[in-house]
Chain A
Amino acid sequence: MSVLSVASLSKSFGALRAVNDVSFSVREGEFLALIGPNGAGKSTCFNMINGQLRPNAGEIRFAGRNIAGLPPRAIFRLGVGRTFQIAATFGSMTAIENVQTALISHAGETYRFWRPAAARHRERALALLNQVGMRDAALRSSRELAYGDSKRLEFAIALANEPRLLLMDEPTAGMAPRERNELIALVKRLVVERKISVLFTEHSMDVVFAFADRIIVMARGRLIADGDAKSIRENPRVQEVYFGTGKAFEPKPQSAR
């Protein structure tokens, strides 16, 4: 059974068709990789699924309803967690406060004016930080965290609403190869334990081939392949867009966005 199914999704920016008639689905408990060269439209897909962008056309079915065009906060409430390509955390808060803020929102306590936020959901926040290996950094200001650590923190935040679906846009961008593998292994372990479905993008092919249950490939806004690691490796169209240009099976340099 699929948790998320996307049908004929399209988005244009002016004349540019960033996402063009894309359809795919994520099955329950699946660890699905969305790959493609820079500018393929991956982040744009994520942004439509989590409500940040309104699609020009197409359907996004999640939890039995069409969520296309709903605002991000409504989609969060339905059980979708999100991490960003460029880590987005609350810079004026400590790591644990970041997670607490998400837990507070999930518990519907945002409009409470009395009891301090710092006293709420502390244990649960610590447990989440512990799971992503950030317990020791709980009291550090999140804007002082190393980049890899902000990514972990984002992961903990994204888990706060006990999501059924996690959208992770380049969760390992800016990490060293070893750290990458560790983080993805951690994500995979947690999601298997909790039966969460994950849609993620990743530029390191080693990581993708090693961990993904299934891989879908985008290029220039279109979906060009869908299959397991072996069939993707051997797919001539994928080889063309990737190997042909000699590009992008490698991690891209930090400076690129």
Chain B
Amino acid sequence: MSLNSLLFQALDGLAAASGLFFVAAGLSLIFGVTRIINIAHGSLYMLGTYVAATLANHIGGALGFWGGILTTAVLIGLIGAVIEVVLLRRIYRAPELFQLLATFALVLVINDATLWTWGPEDVLGPRAPGLRGAVEVLGRYLPSYDVFLIAAGPVVLIALHFVLIRTRFGRLIRAATQDREMLGALGVNQALLFTSVFALGSLLSGLGGALQIAREPANLLMDLTVISDAFVVVVVGGMGSIPGAYLAAVVIAEVKALCISIGVVTIAGVAVNVSKLTLVAEFLVMALVLIARPYGLLGRAQSMVRALAEPEDPLRPAGPALKLLGAAAVVALALLPLLARNSPYALVLGIDVLIAVLFAASLHFIMGPGGMHSFGHAAYFGLGAYAAALLVKWFALSMPPALIAAPVVALLGAALFGWFAVRLSGVYLAMLTLAFAQIVWSIVFQWSEVTGGSNGVLGIWPTAPFDNRAALFWLTAALTVVGILLLRTFLFAPFGYAMRAGRDSPLRAEAIGIDVKRVHWIGFTIAGAVCGVAGGVFAFAKGSISPETIDVSRSINGLVMVLLGGIQTLSGPIVGASVFALLQDTIMRQTEYWRALLGGVILLLVLAFPAGIVGGLGKLGTAWRRRP
């Protein structure tokens, strides 16, 4: 590796940084003012790529390309405004997690709308008219378009800076970002401000997407990859800081570029392919930054504006009705294999639902009572699944020891990651957990000699006596029931009270001698271990696993399940996971567009049942009892 090639890669990194910066700046602006974490921001970027590529291809020429990019940006800005007015405006006062849920539903809807409009094939844009050539830099050829992108980032940064400093609109944005009460005092039309900020943020995202058409084809996976990249950038730069976003985008892009140019190095006789690190580089950077500077490079401590979730009522031990219901559920589970002799699919589905329930219950354990909103719970599911699968594959272990190893490995992973995560809170904790999950994902994906890479591990079949569906179902049911009862017992025990105490008031908890971080760390570890059981069973139930097991979407599905059921109740995750898994299954078999349908259902639930299903039913019950 020569110095020249290193510099060349660095330039290439700067071009990538610009695109990243556009999306992240939009996300940061929107978060700063509305305090909404818009997961659908990446979907707007994706939409921008599709629209711009289509315009450029159909109209053609410089007009189609450059005019198309500008048109696209404006169009996406308008779409953002519509989303804000129609949906988000109704939920500004809702707990933060509900807003997440709503924007996630949008991701699903937009993804399917895109699929419906453009089909599953990637859409390739033309090369940029006027910038098709390349310039010679350091003895190599850098595409002119990259030079243009390198310049575009700082230009937009400076333009945004002027808007923020010099205009009234910008002053309002800064006021809202730094001090919300002040905003009220300024006598501002908040609704208009929020809509326009949302439009501006979306426009930036659309612009970022549109500018990519000459570099990469539009595809349906962009929404989630882009949003997780953008999150990383925003968190590393500091929430709400635009210069921070640029700085972070550059740092991350450069670290990646560096990894690529280093290539293979030999450390102590072992060849390490550093370029493989690119997939994790950004998450490593984020983890390091968050540990050293919990509010990002240029960020400041956020004043907590609003609780993450609604306040909850005291825990009540199960009453006779609930105990009866629980017993009935256990009996039903025990009988299902006998009743479903003729419909084997019922058992397959049943196992899926049970695994989802255990997964969601373990996530709820830290999210609800612990107040730690993990966005990367799939990591522990994946660790459990891969631990079991790899032991079977490499050591020919039988099922029981493999199933015991699953929670142990997940526990170790959770203990390691949790130790860092509990040092943060709120959005930052969420992002760090996401980063850890991505790191696990990348390791599994990259380390193909051991994990099978993207192909995964095949042929992990249950051994006797669990080698038939009924027995496997019973095993899954037993593990799930035991897991849930254990978690429940912990919550009612002093440990659970300490965990809730640390969530309710860390100040008070420390003042009465509770080591809040330690308690939350142990809670995190317990949740990871239980989640690992779910992962282990999953590996055997499916017979094969792939990196998809650790995907972001699994983590997000977990969040959706917990919120769907209602985070304030212990039965919430059980109901939520069951409903979610069944919905997903039925809708999936009905239509190709199950994501959109699922998204629609979630949106409906969010608007109609802001306390989740169980919470909503509870409220209905209270209202019914209190009726005159």
Of A71, A72, A73, A88, which one neighbours B505 at CB under 8 angstroms?
Answer: A88
Residues 473-516 of B contacting A (Cβ, < 8 Å): 489-490, 492-498, 500-501, 503-505, 507-515
**Which residues of A lie under 8 Å from residue B317 when comparing CB positions?**
116, 118
Contact A76 B490 (CB under 8 A): no
Closest-CB distance, B488 to chain A (whole angstroms) = 10
**Which residues of A lie under 8 Å from residue B511 when comparing CB positions?**
50, 52, 72-73, 76, 82, 84, 88
**Which residues of A lie under 8 Å from residue B510 when comparing CB positions?**
52, 71-73, 76
A143 interfacial contact with B, CB 8 Å: yes
* Contact (A92, B312) CB under 8 Å given A112-B493, A117-B492: yes
Residues 59-115 of A contacting B (Cβ, < 8 Å): 71-73, 76-77, 82, 84, 88-94, 97, 100-102, 104-106, 109-115
Contact A143 B497 (CB under 8 A): no
A197 interfacial contact with B, CB 8 Å: no
Contact A141 B313 (CB under 8 A): yes
**Which residues of A lie under 8 Å from residue B507 when comparing CB positions?**
52, 84, 88
Provide the bound-state CA to CA distance between A115 and B496, in Å: 11
Contact with B along A13-40 (1 / 0, CB 8 A): 0000000000000000000000000000
B314 interfacial contact with A, CB 8 Å: yes
B139 interfacial contact with A, CB 8 Å: no
Question: Closest residue to A86 on the B side, CB-wise?
Answer: B507
**Which residues of B lie under 8 Å from residue A77 when comparing CB positions?**
513
Provide the bound-state CA to CA distance between A76 and B241, in Å: 39
Closest-CB distance, B502 to chain A (whole angstroms) = 9
Contact B494 A89 (CB under 8 A): no
Provide the bound-state CA to CA distance between A118 and B512, in Å: 17
* Contact (A114, B313) CB under 8 Å given A90-B504, A90-B508, A101-B512: no
**Which residues of B lie under 8 Å from residue A50 when comparing CB positions?**
511
A187 interfacial contact with B, CB 8 Å: no
Contact A114 B493 (CB under 8 A): yes
Interface band, chain A: 35 or more
* Contact (A113, B512) CB under 8 Å given A84-B507, A97-B314: no
A173 interfacial contact with B, CB 8 Å: no
Provide the bound-state CA to CA distance between A94 and B316, in Å: 10
Closest-CB distance, A248 to chain B (whole angstroms) = 24
Contact A120 B513 (CB under 8 A): no
Of A52, A73, A92, which one neighbours B504 at CB under 8 angstroms?
Answer: A92
* Contact (A110, B514) CB under 8 Å given A118-B317, A143-B311: yes
**Which residues of B lie under 8 Å from residue A84 when comparing CB positions?**
507-508, 511
Question: Closest residue to B504 on the A side, CB-wise?
Answer: A90
Provide the bound-state CA to CA distance between A118 and B311, in Å: 20
Question: Closest residue to B515 on the A side, CB-wise?
Answer: A73
Closest-CB distance, B295 to chain A (whole angstroms) = 17
Closest-CB distance, B420 to chain A (whole angstroms) = 19
A198 interfacial contact with B, CB 8 Å: no
Closest-CB distance, A153 to chain B (whole angstroms) = 11
Q: Which of B315, B504, B512, B519 has the most CB of A within 10 A?
A: B512
Contact A89 B512 (CB under 8 A): no
Contact B314 A94 (CB under 8 A): yes
Contact A117 B314 (CB under 8 A): no
Contact A101 B497 (CB under 8 A): yes
Provide the bound-state CA to CA distance between A50 and B511, in Å: 8
Of B313, B489, B515, which one neighbours A92 at CB under 8 angstroms?
Answer: B313
A201 interfacial contact with B, CB 8 Å: no
Provide the bound-state CA to CA distance between A141 and B312, in Å: 10
Contact with A along B608-628 (1 / 0, CB 8 A): 000000000000000000000
Provide the bound-state CA to CA distance between A143 and B314, in Å: 10
- Further 11 A-B residue pairs, CB within 8 A, beyond A109-B494, A118-B317, A118-B492: A52-B507, A73-B511, A73-B513, A73-B515, A91-B311, A92-B312, A102-B513, A105-B512, A113-B490, A120-B494, A141-B314
The 10 closest A-B pairs by CB, nearest first: A88-B508, A76-B513, A90-B504, A102-B512, A105-B513, A72-B510, A117-B497, A116-B492, A73-B513, A112-B494
A-B contact pairs, 27 of them (CB 8 A): A71-B510, A76-B510, A76-B512, A76-B513, A89-B505, A90-B505, A90-B508, A91-B504, A91-B505, A97-B314, A97-B497, A100-B497, A104-B494, A105-B514, A110-B514, A110-B515, A110-B519, A112-B494, A113-B490, A113-B494, A114-B489, A117-B492, A117-B493, A117-B494, A117-B496, A141-B313, A143-B311
